[in-house]
Structure 1
Amino acid sequence: MPEQIITLDIDGQAVSVARGCTVAAALAIARNHAAVVTRRSVSGELRGPLCGMGICQECRVTIDGVRHRLACQTICTAGMSVITGGSAQ
């Protein structure tokens, strides 16, 4: 059976990933495997996935309007909207 591909929106960019992919993995794909920045700390530091298992909570993003979702623990769904708020600029 061929792999099913779904598309979601990450910071306004359409990203296609394999069904079953986590949001953290989709972020890496969207950024072409560059450093993934998901948010800024209260002091302005860039933050991103660290542990990959939900302990550190550094991968928090807004998914479909719900803030503080863990990208490493959330499976992508078709049409999902992800906002990172971690612009590296």
Structure 2
Amino acid sequence: MRKKNSPAAQAIQVCLDGEWLPAKNNMTVAAWMLTQAKLSTRISCSGTPRFAVCGMGVCQECRISVNGHPQQLACQTWCEAGMVLDTGGVA
């Protein structure tokens, strides 16, 4: 949860699978991806696209690579300027 004294939402740029897109720093990566109609953060071992189910970090379905660090939870990660997200080629 963000602190009460956190700055107001600012327009930033986030890179998703090589494409720079507008975002706001007051959103989680999962929430931002919903606004962009990007509904897959990874592909499961069986080949099924996955995305946030619970929205609170319990289900672990929203794992995504953030700035080169794999297995980060999109629902628990706040958008930051210059952030690079990689879904591993999810369409």
TM range (shorter): 0.7 to 0.9
Q: CA RMSD, aligned part only?
A: 1.8
Of 67-76 and 4-13, deviating more is: 4-13
What stretches of structure 1 move > 2 A for 4+ residues in a row? none
Query: Normalising by the residue count of structure 1, what TM-score does the alignment of the two structures yield?
Result: 0.84
Equivalent-residue separation in structure 2 for 1:81 and 1:30 (angstroms): 15
Which of 64, 67, 73 does residue 64 from structure 1 map onto? 67
Aligned length: 85
Aligned pairs (5 A) from 1:1-89: 3-31=9-37, 36-85=39-88, 87-88=90-91
Structure 1 unaligned segments of length 5 or more: list them: none
CA distance in 1, matches of 2:41, 2:89: 5
> 5+ residue gaps in structure 2?
1-7
Identity rate of aligned residues, in percent? 44
Q: TM-score, normalised by structure 2?
A: 0.83
